[in-house]
Structure 1
């Protein structure tokens, strides 16, 4: 089960502490966040330069939400 994602403000705070030279252990203890979470946020910031949530990998959605609504309308071709 996944937990809720962290706010952008909290992720930015992690990056600020990382840039000031704090270690993962001290940051995780101060912010009460798991050390792996802190490290993954800083690695993502180093790689992409942002702390925003990125789009995930996977197949794109076949139909838009508007297209899916069309399935709920009655069939006009029925006899």
Structure 2
């Protein structure tokens, strides 16, 4: 049965901000810049025993409509790509 499990989780990553932990090397005198938004991205990823699924970028705040859209577009395609079959158990970082 564990061959039919798909794990999913999201992680917020910030370049700048209160929760930012940044380890990078820049040439001396280079000024750090952010060209888009607040410098944060939230990827939603999934994986199984068969491999990794498709990555989805969460724009803005997550709501039930956006979550359903991601499930419809990315998760179902990942299940097909990984050949997990019809009965798949989805486990998330939040709740099963």
- Give the shorter-chain TM-score range: under 0.3
Q: Which has the higher strand share?
A: 2
Q: Report the TM-score when normalising by structure 2.
A: 0.23
Computing the radius of gyration over CA atoms, which structure comes out larger, 1 or 2? 1
Q: Which has the higher helix share?
A: 1
Higher relative contact order (CA 8 A, sep 6+): 2
